[in-house]
Amino acid sequence: MPNLDQVAERLRHAYSGGAIAPLRDALDPTDVDAAYAVQAINTAYWRSEGRRVVGRKVGLTAKAVQAQLGVDQPDFGVLFDDMEIASGGFLRPGVLQPKAEAEVAFILGADLSSHSVTTDEAARAVAQVTAAIEIVDSRIADWKITFADTVADNGSSAFYVLGDDRKILDGLDLWTCGMVLEVNGQIGAVGAGAACLGHPLNALAWLAETLAKRGDPLKEGDVVLSGALGPMVALKPGDIVQASIGGLGVVGFTYGDPR
């Protein structure tokens, strides 16, 4: 059976070599600790190569998806500085099997280092809120993932886009706020804030508490993608993607090389 360093290397090579088979020969589908250990190995590797950690993403925030993968908790991945695409910018070819999902993004104005974090405490740490699109991608062929696959694969992360319109949290309704994700002017997904663990701040509190217990707490300035407000939409080259979230504005990108 491959060791965890070998599993991590497999995933790194898949970025350029193409999607690989699920990791069931090396990781039990529900082995949380081993999956995060693989993620940590690759995070350390990429940091040694000069990439800078700028935040985290939360995944598996929908109860239906958790049930599908046989888990009862969300997961998280790492955001690096080179994963951000400017709103109105371009997702260049090179991703394997990308999908887009609309999310609420938080930018922290304070550390969150407590092992027990309430939503009120999480809210007080938020400096800015904005609409976001996460571009997820899987290094596992045909998206045939288990919980361990997606965690080891850095939460199936790829890129993200933050809206230019930044808001303060006071006065925002992130529970009933509606979301519409359009591809080429056609509605691809709809949703609401409540789809994200009942409220996006619940996802932030969960993440803060989880990372603090792991000894790697969220810090001032971190970007947090709190989880999808509706279904993912598969992408193809040439697609123009735009998400609108009530109270937060619009964010978008084009999948292809700029002309």
Tens digit of each residue's pLDDT (9 = 90 or more) over 101-133? 999 999 999 999 999 999 999 999 999 999 999
Q: Is residue 1's pLDDT more than 60? A: no
Classify 119 as helix, strand or coil.
helix
| pTM recorded for the entire structure | 0.95
CA pair distance 101, 128, nearest whole angstrom: 20
pLDDT in tens, 136-190: 999 999 999 999 999 999 999 999 999 999 999 999 999 999 999 999 999 999 9
Question: What mean pLDDT do residues 187-208 have?
Answer: 96
pLDDT of amino acid 258: 84
Question: What's the full length of the chain, in residues?
Answer: 259
Judge residue 72's burial from the number of C-beta atoms within 10 Å of its C-beta, 0-12 exposed, 13-18 middle, 19 or more buried: exposed
pLDDT in tens, 13-32: 999 999 999 999 999 998 99
Contact 163, 248 (CB under 8 A): yes
Q: Is residue 2's pLDDT more than 80? A: no
pLDDT in tens, 34-77: 999 999 999 999 999 999 999 999 999 987 677 766 677 899 99
CATH number at residue 137: 3.90.850.10
Q: What type of residue is 255?
A: Y
Q: How many domains does the chain have?
A: 1
Q: What type of residue is 116?
A: S
The boundaries of the domain holding residue 41 are 4-255
CA pair distance 101, 104, nearest whole angstrom: 10
CA pair distance 247, 172, nearest whole angstrom: 7
Question: What mean pLDDT do residues 215-220 have?
Answer: 97
Judge residue 64's burial from the number of C-beta atoms within 10 Å of its C-beta, 0-12 exposed, 13-18 middle, 19 or more buried: exposed
DSSP one-letter code for 222: -
pLDDT of amino acid 165: 96
Band the pLDDT of 259: cuts 50, 70, 90: confident
CA pair distance 50, 188, nearest whole angstrom: 36
pLDDT in tens, 236-250: 999 999 999 999 999
CA pair distance 87, 41, nearest whole angstrom: 31
Longest dimension (CA), the chain: 53
CB atoms within 10 A of CB 79: 25
